[in-house]
Amino acid sequence: MAEVLICDHDPRLVHLLSIILESEGHFVARGPGLADIVEAEAAIRALAAPTVLLIKYDPYYRPACARLLEAADAGGQPLRRHAYVLYGVNVDDFARQQRQLVFRLAAWLIPMPFDFQVMIDTVAEAARRIAS
């Protein structure tokens, strides 16, 4: 299965998602926080293998998420080799520019409220893509 980094500020949700995804055979770790986007980008760039990045699209961190997507789009292969899955998205509120970035990165959007089976299936699909 895949390595999965969960980027979310809620430790309870990170723990719950970790349990669910580990039961599916994934190796799960807590990813970089989005408060310091330079640090987050550096941490993602330093990953040894292609990884599924499960990123909470929280309204509080919306600008940081947008900057991370922009960095991934502009960052070339070291950032584009990962699979980006944004969850907790209010699709109606998702800006047109961000939609274009998501399209270019072939990222996944999981709307809020999300279903855990949808999360499991989406991570599995992302894992298949980065494995090929």
Model pLDDT for residues 80-104, shown as the tens digit of each residue: 899 999 998 887 777 776 788 888 8
Long-range CB pairs of 68-77, under 8 A, 24+ apart, other chains included: 68/34, 68/37, 68/40, 68/41, 68/44, 69/98, 69/101, 69/102, 69/105, 69/107, 70/101, 71/37, 71/41, 72/44, 72/101, 72/105, 73/101, 73/104, 73/105, 75/41, 75/45
Read off the amino acid at residue 90: N
Q: Which of 56, 69, 78, 67 is nearest to 11 (CA)?
A: 56
Residue 124 is assigned to a structural domain of this protein: no
Residue 127 is assigned to a structural domain of this protein: no
pTM: 0.90
**What is the number of structural domains in the chain?**
1
Residue 40 is assigned to a structural domain of this protein: yes
Residue 128 is assigned to a structural domain of this protein: no
pLDDT class of 127 with cuts at 50, 70, 90: very high
N-term to C-term CA, the chain = 12
d(CA 115, CA 94): 19
CATH of the domain at 70: 3.40.50.2300
Residue 79 is assigned to a structural domain of this protein: yes
Using CA atoms of 118, 124, 125, 130 in order, give the dihedral in degrees to the nearest 10: 150
pLDDT at residue 46 is higher than 80: yes
Domain that holds residue 89: 3-119
Residue 129 is assigned to a structural domain of this protein: no
